Amino acid sequence: WFFDGGRKSLVLTGNVGMGKSTLMKATSMAIGQLYFYSLGSQRKTSMYVECAELQTIYDNDQSKFDRLKHCDILFLDDLGVEPVVVSKYGNKTNLFIELLLCRYEEKKPTIITTNLKRNDIVKNYCNSELMQARVEDRLFETYDFKVLQGNESFRIKNAKK
């Protein structure tokens, strides 16, 4: 997936406890190291953020939120736990959609983990049919969806041993 020009984004989805976040954290660390140790002009920025932190970042550190929008590769962990719409100074914003559309326009890869199913992402984050069609079109064009299979959390399996 990543070595195919590095322009394709990825969504890891599946039940709770399948290892999506663990896999993404390891991938973000490895890619971060590769990017950090690249030579000068080839050095790139990667950022990891838990979606539960998005509103706090947006409310308190607009420059960091802007860096999330524009970094070379973004890792978003646990999409679906953050508020869908946030309000700041009376302006309502859908943070995920803002990130998604900005990164789409700039052709920047994004790696996402979520427990949401593919179609639920669009339904949860879009409040109109037009927006649903627009987001769905961009999601399915630029993202590979990989489902981590399993019914029982690895944490529960380990606790039973």
CB 70 within 8 A of CB 106: yes
Measured distance CA(14)–CA(62) in Å, rounded? 31
Nearest CA to 68 out of 29, 106, 38 is that of 106
Q: How many CB atoms lie within 10 A of CB 154?
A: 13
pTM of the model: 0.80
- pLDDT by 10-residue block (mean), the chain, 161 residues: 63 81 80 64 80 92 95 91 78 86 91 88 78 80 81 65 69
Nearest CA to 21 out of 66, 79, 70 is that of 79
Please report, as a single letter, which amino acid is at residue 81: V
